Amino acid sequence: MTTTELWNNDLDIPPVEVVEREAETFTEQNEITVAAKKKILFVASEAAPFISTGGLAEVIGSLSKAVAKNDAFDVRVILPLYQDVRKEFRKDFRFIGNLYVQLSWRNQYCGIFEYKSEGVTYYFVDNEYYFKRPGCYGYYDDGERFAFFCRGVMEILGFIGFYPDILHCHDWQAALAAIYLKTIYCNRAEYRNIRAVFTIHNIEYQGQYSLEILEDLFGISYHFRNLVEYDRCINLMKGALECCEAITTVSPSYAEEIKQPQFGRGLDPIIRRNEGKLRGILNGIDPEFYDPGTDPSLFANYDADHPQNKAVCKEELQKMLGLPVKPDTPIIAMISRLVSHKGLDLVKEVIEQALRQNIQFILLGTGDSTYENFFTDLARRYQGKVVTIISFNSDLSRKIYSGADIFLMPSKSEPCGLSQMIASRYGAVALVRETGGLKDSITPYGAGGNGFTFHSYNAHDMLYVICEAIGVYRMKDEWSALVKKAMETDFSWSTSAKYYEGLFLSLLK
Ligand code: GLC
């Protein structure tokens, strides 16, 4: 099954075929220049493998590489140089210069570092005052930090002489780049033909600030306030939605959902007004980065055709977590931020009923203290059946994906979600609620699909499907066939990257 087959929305952007190298010309120095390459710049606040707090980073890292495989595109990514950018990469960054960036009355140092890998050029924007702090977000001056970043991006284009055809901005932290393009920079010849694309990874986070700081902090004249004002506040996501030529979000179902008040977080009228520009394109994952056949974190490696070692992974996981080693007891796992929209209230409500069955339950994650406390207490009360690990640990998460049988993801809303794809690839059959990207990537077993799904946000509906999954688990041959199907589902970028490429080209016609 391919991801396209799973899509229920027809996109009207044609995916492009891989374009052959065209228009190669030889300069006097005999260098090959590809005149037809379209220049794409991704503007984002994080990207794997350099710095990551979640799905956004993974998508920037893997989508940029996927698009760069097509010779028709010159793909570059620009990010802030946080203190936590991984040292093993940082030592190979090349300093390419510095400039001063004006942000209203401020005049700030802006260093630029460059790094190239797998056909993608990365730029890192350096300013220690703004970025030499632990983590990426959560500071009182995040608005100013990302305004500096976006203004820096716009100035760096001139400094390095790279004017992209497409400025692809992701989430509110990059929204100001699109807004600056259509305000401060709109009359500069080199910027005039740049097309802006804005991708909503999660509409919950919009970048809202008091209107008073529009000029003084963001350096935008009040003349442009209508672009960014919403509900008597500055709303950076709204500004970018108005300014860009195309809006994408990370699954076709989420694209439909955010037009509605239940999912739009107040922005649904703006989404509806701009719906002609909106496309939902399902995210992919990097199948090499998530490969149970080679993953060094696993106790043993396996693949869809040779799944025997998954049993070794399960046994070692049970030993490691102090669970009784029982090969025939299904392990249900959750790896999640412990926040309400991940559906944890449903789990809280019925987990004890589910635990009456012969199952083991593993939860890995951090988040709201109510959930942390509930699941810690649950593990104490159900020793030998439930393990709760309050942490964010990539190595352990891979061990859990490989050892688990069922992966539970009952989100109330989920723009795309990557964990259900990773779990499937590792042979942990996903059990999801039908929302956003969960609906577009997991189809129900009963209809010949690759996992289990339930529709209403209702704890007993979820419990019913958990029992159905346990029932199928007991039927060895059926279960093995389902695991194989899950593992073989194509969650790579091969299809989705083509939709982005098609979108970019359609904007440049
Ligand atoms: C956000 C969304 C998640 C999505 C990710 C990457 O984290 O919440 O659903 O998979 O972005 O687009």
Domains in the chain: boundaries: 36-250, 309-490
Q: Which of 202, 411, 432 to mutate to test the pocket of ligand 1 (most atoms within 8 A of CB)?
A: 202
Residue 15: the pLDDT is 53
Which ligand 1 atom minimizes the distance to the CA of 204?
8
Ligand 1 surroundings by CB, under 6 angstroms: 54-56, 59, 201-202, 250, 283, 414-418
Cα atoms found within 13 Å of the Cα of residue 313, Cβ hemisphere only = 28
Cα atoms found within 13 Å of the Cα of residue 173, Cβ hemisphere only = 22
Q: Which of 38, 149, 4 is nearest to 493 (CA)?
A: 4
The mean pLDDT of 29-51, rounded to a whole number, is 82
What's the predicted TM-score (pTM) here?
0.92
Burial 239-275 (b: 16+ CB within 10 A, else e): bbbbbbbbbbbbbbbbbbbbbeeebbbebbebbeebe
Per-residue pLDDT of 103-151, as tens digits, reads 999 999 999 999 999 999 999 999 999 999 999 999 999 999 999 999 9
Range with lowest mean pLDDT among 19-33, 250-264, 324-338: 19-33
Alpha-carbon torsion, ordered 20, 25, 31, 34, to 10 deg = -40
CA of 202 to the centre of ligand 1 (A): 6
Closest residue to atom 7 of ligand 1, CA basis: 55
Per-residue pLDDT of 377-418, as tens digits, reads 999 999 999 999 999 899 999 999 999 999 999 999 999 999
Does position 10 have pLDDT exceeding 80, yes or no? no
Residue 359: the pLDDT is 98
Per-residue pLDDT of 68-91, as tens digits, reads 999 999 999 999 999 999 999 999
The mean pLDDT of 151-180, rounded to a whole number, is 98
Burial 297-326 (b: 16+ CB within 10 A, else e): ebbebbbbeeeebbebbbbbbbeebebeee
Which two tokens mark 227?
Answer: 């672009």
> 277 Cβ partners below 8 Å, 6+ apart?
244, 245, 246, 247
pLDDT band at 35 (very low <50, low <70, confident <90, very high): low
Does position 3 have pLDDT exceeding 80, yes or no? no
Q: Report the chain's mean pLDDT, rounded to a whole number.
A: 94
Q: Which of 3, 203, 250 to mutate to test the pocket of ligand 1 (most atoms within 8 A of CB)?
A: 250
Does position 20 have pLDDT exceeding 50, yes or no? no
Does position 205 have pLDDT exceeding 60, yes or no? yes
Q: Assign residue 353 a region (left: φ > 0; alpha: ψ between -120 and 50; beta: otherwise).
A: alpha
Does position 26 have pLDDT exceeding 80, yes or no? no
CATH level 2 (architecture), domain 309-490: 3-Layer(aba) Sandwich (3.40)
Closest residue to atom 12 of ligand 1, CA basis: 201
Q: What are phi and psi of 6, to 5 degrees?
A: -80, -20
Question: Which ranges in 343-393 belong to alpha helices (H)?
Answer: 344-354, 369-381
Per-residue pLDDT of 206-248, as tens digits, reads 999 999 999 999 999 999 999 999 999 999 999 999 999 999 9
Which ligand 1 atom minimizes the distance to the CA of 199?
12
CATH level 2 (architecture), domain 36-250: 3-Layer(aba) Sandwich (3.40)
Per-residue pLDDT of 239-261, as tens digits, reads 999 999 999 999 999 999 999 99
CA of 345 to the centre of ligand 1 (A): 20
Residue 244: the pLDDT is 98
Q: Fold identical between 36-250 and 309-490?
A: yes
Residue 23: the pLDDT is 38
Closest residue to atom 1 of ligand 1, CA basis: 201
Residue 392: the pLDDT is 87
